[in-house]
Structure 1
């Protein structure tokens, strides 16, 4: 972390925290963690929102030489309990909502030391935040775990992914070579702290001596106003933020003149959204980033070029770029062969996790080839003529419907091209012993017969959706990505409807 005493490291609401202030606070809290009755912790949970306790708590855990486990107070209690136990958390930094969760879990009565610096009551099990600070951050080894992040698991339980200091050092070294971030930059921070991309915002900003600006929910009603107030120069979010800004009517030409960099990750990025965003932020360079947590934040990137990028798009989606330096990739076909053209993306290299916390989760996620271990992303990609990769969808986004092999992103792209339709998400649901396609869309409410007729001019009959559901807006998860799982659940709730019915809810 840059410790320049003159710069602003973090701005929360109307309050700013300088680098020297945040650094000193993290050293003091790290000293408090070291002084816990159970001794210096090896793994520290940070159960906070995007609050001072969250940002200083992450630094304090790292300064203490511990692995950070960011957690979310809004998650179900048993999910949080499972993550605490799986990660072997032996101390927690909590803000007020996080402390309430811990008390509801009944883990704060001395069983798990808790540093809640601004708690109104002392309470049993709480670590006093005052005391002798550490003189300097603890020494660490490359093989030590820096972060433990949890992803959704197909078994219904979260999977813990350890990221070592060597992995993050390689990643941020590469970022330093690719971007010209500097102390005058002002970074947005849109992701919750338990989401891997939040690390990019924090450590890119603090590594450059720049300021970090968490974006409150109300700011999305007027993003240009927030940009102007903070003079933001670096934006990073899920692509859904573009749709959100468009719906508020605040994505007009020139609305965001201060932006230098606009980065998007977490979802497929549409070319049409890039065009709208670039119109609003004409001085900004747009980059589409891709990568699963298991490969340390992002593993590819495509920098948008108005001259060449449009011709590289597939199904209206922007390329994800080339795999990072120092890594190799393979494309695995469904029959277990390797292809130069298209298949499931498998990657090996210094950003790859050594494996999940629970070894049984490694099954079917890693493969051995050519004497090396490769991570299977589960994402299908295609090699473009320029050597970059384009995302085609999840391995399971290619479905069989009445004997047809259907690419759900192709249907979404076709529907988004229909007059009146804003965006579209296609899912499947069981019906009559097979699967049928259900589409949710935004924009104008269009008669389903008209949508079917328009799609029939583009898609084979077997690929036509059986139900269209209009929404004012898509549901978003905590990181403002489209909640596809919730939409699939909504579609499945209608399985008792008469087969073949086409509806516009």
Structure 2
């Protein structure tokens, strides 16, 4: 067999594996979600229909098709349909700002969009739109396209240090190799498994989740409402007897009370954890639980540029680590001269092997900067600079030490601080800006500092929300007359003031009134790490986000007996409005107008 530099034997394309799964068990449940259930035969028909509709419009190998479909069976059908047409999918999250989606679509050069006109917005880039629920006419399924192993499978955008997101293009052979490696390393156990698809389709961790149908597993698509409610999520996992759940350490913190012990039916849940460093207490807790009949946890590590995962470790012992390389990946800890470091010495992690991405779409300079000539591989091979600082233990395991640049991880998402700074600087009222990563009382967050001081305010927050997705919005924006500089004329981060603890969410004197407003203000103060929360404070303007909203709901229920849904925090972000909603629920409940459960 002739192979490309640093390649490996070709593994079966996932579409071929899907067709084999359909032949083996057409009546087994393939996917279930908020919009229903499909067995393998039905998923085969639906994805083939979409592929035929795309092919009828000339879509084929090498093309890129945007997918903007709500989470559910229809999303799995759309992604698989794009692959069956031979094209690459480009996820466009409908919750992202329109300007960002337009840029991503244009940068990717999409030829079509799968997604209905539910939100009334025009398709990004003016591309042809295929409504997955519409009858496209005589597009009877035919033979699937025959893409080559080097054809793209997807383009997923990550935060970019240039101020714009960058699209990472990954080939079909790389995805096939990833699945083979995860199976060989026993991260994926023999089918049939029942997989909870938890990650956003815009996050590369979704690839080892939704595409599990291609190996014969059942995929349970966790809807947005279930993802945001720990009780509902735990009930959903039990209802469908989910065996595998992928999640971040931040999400685990909210689910631990519901998932730490054995499941009611005796099965052992497998937790595939990644997206951000695992705190030592979480590592030890799950290591202990694994030895006592609780969930079995694995730590998975890998950059988007290396096809999701390159290393895995089972939770064992007392100290977190990244473990060992997956089959097909080579991990090198190098110093500044690209020489291997000795065990215990810090270096930058470089990844080689046959699963490296093609590079960044339309960014040849950045691609050349990050994907460099591999000094350890055959001629023509490349190696990827991760920017992660690591060291090897005496046992050969990798320990994560931090970043060598200004990239951070927030709730599993990769964020370049320079992109947030560019968004702040693009606001007309801002002349200069800097963003720092900080761990406050409410957890990891971003703090923005802007000059002039009068620039910080609600208008600035509204403008940022039009440019950046939620996970990239600063929790605080502090106005300054000037940025502090050291004697060398460079920014002095240590001289930047801490954010004010008294929010500007309402006028002076709008203090919480009555037991319900006072109760919510008390919980917000603790969860957000704020003082001086007013009745007119806005939860999200104070730095709240989806995971903190979950904490609010959990604390109100656990400690005070107040029952609300996570979506209520989104519907009523102003404290006074949320309190009125809680009071209305209490008045309509048997327990009377106390805002508490009966008997509490």
User: Compared with structure 1, are the counterparts of its residues 439 and 74 closer, same or farther at alpha carbon in structure 2 (3 Å cutoff)?
Assistant: same
Larger radius of gyration: 2
TM-score where L is the length of structure 2: 0.62
For 2:196 and 2:407, how far apart are their aligned partners in 1? Answer: 35
* 1:366 equivalent in alignment to 2:371: yes
For 2:70 and 2:300, how far apart are their aligned partners in 1? Answer: 25
Q: Which residue of 2 aligns with 1:290?
A: 301
TM-score where L is the length of structure 1: 0.72
The match for 1:384 among 387, 393, 398 is: 393
Q: Which residue of 2 aligns with 1:191?
A: 199
Whether contact under 8 Å (2:209, 2:219) holds in the other structure is: no
User: Compared with structure 1, are the counterparts of its residues 323 and 70 closer, same or farther at alpha carbon in structure 2 (3 Å cutoff)?
Assistant: same
Whether contact under 8 Å (1:227, 1:258) holds in the other structure is: no
User: Compared with structure 1, are the counterparts of its residues 252 and 57 closer, same or farther at alpha carbon in structure 2 (3 Å cutoff)?
Assistant: closer
Summarize deviations over 1:67-102 as a string: whole Å, max 9, x none. Answer: 1111111112222112112211101101444x6343
More displaced stretch, 17-26 vs 204-213: 204-213
For 2:33 and 2:289, how far apart are their aligned partners in 1? Answer: 25
Q: How many positions carry a matched residue from both structures? A: 411
Q: Which residue of 2 aligns with 1:217?
A: 227
Q: Which residue of 2 aligns with 1:85?
A: 106
For 1:138 and 1:166, how far apart are their aligned partners in 2? Answer: 15
Q: Which residue of 2 aligns with 1:100?
A: 120
* 1:357 equivalent in alignment to 2:361: yes
For 2:246 and 2:283, how far apart are their aligned partners in 1? Answer: 13
Shift of 1:283: 4.4
> Which runs of 5 or more residues in structure 2 are unaligned?
1-17, 409-435, 450-482, 487-491, 500-526, 531-538, 552-600
The match for 1:116 among 120, 125, 131 is: 131
Q: Which residue of 2 aligns with 1:402?
A: none
> Which runs of 5 or more residues in structure 1 are unaligned?
120-127, 400-407, 416-420, 441-467, 483-505
More strand by share: 1
Give the SS at the match of 1:118: coil
Whether contact under 8 Å (1:220, 1:244) holds in the other structure is: yes
Q: Which residue of 2 aligns with 1:461?
A: none
Shift of 1:183: 4.0
Shift of 1:45: 0.9
The match for 1:172 among 179, 182, 192 is: 179
For 2:314 and 2:346, how far apart are their aligned partners in 1? Answer: 22
Q: Which residue of 2 aligns with 1:495?
A: none
Shift of 1:151: 1.1
Summarize deviations over 1:434-460 as a string: whole Å, max 9, x none. Answer: 1128899xxxxxxxxxxxxxxxxxxxx
Q: Which residue of 2 aligns with 1:326?
A: 328
| CA RMSD of superposed structures (Å) | 3.5
Q: Which residue of 2 aligns with 1:236?
A: 246
Shift of 1:285: 2.0
Q: Which residue of 1 aligns with 2:555?
A: none
Whether contact under 8 Å (2:35, 2:72) holds in the other structure is: no
For 2:213 and 2:544, how far apart are their aligned partners in 1? Answer: 30
Q: Which residue of 2 aligns with 1:444?
A: none
* 1:425 equivalent in alignment to 2:427: no
User: Compared with structure 1, are the counterparts of its residues 300 and 95 closer, same or farther at alpha carbon in structure 2 (3 Å cutoff)?
Assistant: farther
Q: Which residue of 2 aligns with 1:140?
A: 147
* 1:149 equivalent in alignment to 2:156: yes
User: Compared with structure 1, are the counterparts of its residues 115 and 389 closer, same or farther at alpha carbon in structure 2 (3 Å cutoff)?
Assistant: same
